[in-house]
């Protein structure tokens, strides 16, 4: 495999874990961290104690808050910042990024005010660069410990998807390819929304039956919206669909589920976010998904009730009551 020069934008848990993986795959990797003090601390200690404690980073991994030189010479740029920061970061670095560099996105969400997917943000700022989204059931903590993990690399350009497959894949990180960028992005973004709902269910004291129902009906809502946007329904049977949804709804590694648990227990949304201490993508994505569903006239009752809980001060218990007392339907109804 050819050695690539790679810059990872963002030093959260996932950006750090992927930087470690790519360095161990023998690539020349620089991870850009906005906070220079934090970057220096990680560089000296070889550990990201804030986001990925206990994981020692390879000596050959470069950590920098001033990565312009690395960015301008990179074959691959990996986006690992929260979705709401993607536009800001790409605008700041767009003149440094070579037009031949492949953009690989790890962020899972929709931009709040525009309702845009990350691929759409990228195409507006870097129209000549090829884009790949990497998504699937992949907790950073487990990837950093080399636990077997499978993900999907989706791109409109089959060759680019295969390049990313080769660059990222190793004995514990298996990568499949897919051409359905819309489906993979929507699956990755909206699973965080359903995970919030699953967490709220846990916080309310409900059990496995309730969570299984949320996962199953949640994937129906996600695929219904995505199909309306042009996605392939089969994508939601895959890693970025039901695979990612299961892991995010059931694991305590999931910050969305953990935030949901707190909200279910009665925490205010702001207090729950503060308690988690990291970005909870699902909260802003719920806002964007709600607007998108209205715009496209797609019925998404779980999203609708979650939106009411997060943004209209509706009690979580009332949301459950309203979902359970909806009009009778056939399971295969499109709505």
- Backbone φ and ψ of 141, nearest 5°: -60, -35
DSSP per-residue letters across 238-267 = SIIIIIHHHHHHH-TT-HHHHHHHHHHTT-
Which of these, 272, 211, 276, lies nearest to 245 by C-alpha position?
211
Which residues, at least 6 apart from 327, have a Cβ–Cβ distance to it below 8 Å? none
Is-catalytic flag, 146?
A: no
- 260-296 in b/e form (b: 16+ CB < 10 A) is bbbbbeebebeebbeeeeebbbbbbbbbbbbbbbeee
CB 3: neighbour CB atoms within 10 A?
A: 11
Identify the three-state secondary structure at position 96: coil
- Distance of alpha carbon 318 from the chain centroid: 29
CA atoms of 308 and 289, how far apart (whole Å) = 13
Extract the tokens encoding 249. 């709804």
Alpha helices (runs of H) in 73-132, residue ranges in sequence order: 83-93, 118-125
- Backbone φ and ψ of 113, nearest 5°: -80, -30
Extract the tokens encoding 233. 């329904």
By residue count, the chain amounts to 335
| Given 20, 108, 130, 191, the catalytic residue | 191
Q: Cα dist. 59→14, 129, 140 in Å?
A: 19, 30, 19
Active site residues: 191
């Amino acid at each position: 495999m050819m050695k690539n020069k790679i810059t990872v934008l963002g030093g959260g848990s996932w950006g750090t874990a992927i930087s470690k993986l790519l360095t161990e795959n023998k690539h020349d990797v620089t991870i850009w961290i906005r906070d220079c003090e934090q970057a220096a601390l990680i560089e000296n200690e070889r550990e990201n104690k804030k986001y990925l404690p206990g994981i020692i980073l390879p000596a050959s991994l470069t950590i920098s808050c001033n990565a312009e030189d690395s960015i301008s010479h990179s074959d691959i740029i990996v986006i690992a910042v929260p979705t709401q920061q993607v536009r800001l970061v790409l605008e700041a670095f767009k003149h440094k990024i070579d037009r031949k560099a492949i953009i690989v996105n790890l962020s899972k969400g929709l931009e709040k005010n525009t309702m845009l997917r990350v691929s759409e943000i990228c195409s507006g700022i870097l129209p000549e660069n090829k884009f790949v989204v990497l998504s699937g059931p992949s907790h950073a903590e487990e990837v950093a410990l080399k636990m077997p993990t499978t993900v999907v690399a989706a791109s409109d350009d089959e060759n680019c998807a295969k390049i990313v497959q080769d660059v990222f894949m190793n004995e514990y990180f298996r990568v499949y390819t897919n051409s359905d960028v819309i489906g993979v992005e929507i699956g990755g973004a909206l699973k965080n929304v359903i995970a919030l709902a699953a967490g709220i269910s846990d916080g309310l004291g409900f059990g496995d039956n309730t969570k299984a129902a949320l996962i199953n009906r949640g994937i129906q809502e996600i695929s219904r919206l995505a199909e309306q946007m042009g996605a392939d329904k089969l994508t939601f049977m895959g890693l970025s669909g039901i695979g990612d949804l299961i892991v995010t709804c059931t694991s305590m590694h999931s910050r969305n589920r953990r935030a949901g648990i707190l909200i279910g227990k009665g925490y205010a949304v702001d207090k729950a976010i503060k308690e988690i201490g990291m970005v909870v993508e699902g909260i802003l994505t719920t806002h964007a998904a709600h607007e998108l569903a209205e715009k496209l006239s797609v019925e998404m009752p779980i999203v609708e009730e979650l939106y009411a809980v997060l943004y209209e001060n509706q009690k979580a218990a009332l949301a459950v009551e309203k979902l359970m007392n909806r009009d009778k339907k056939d399971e295969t109804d499109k709505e």
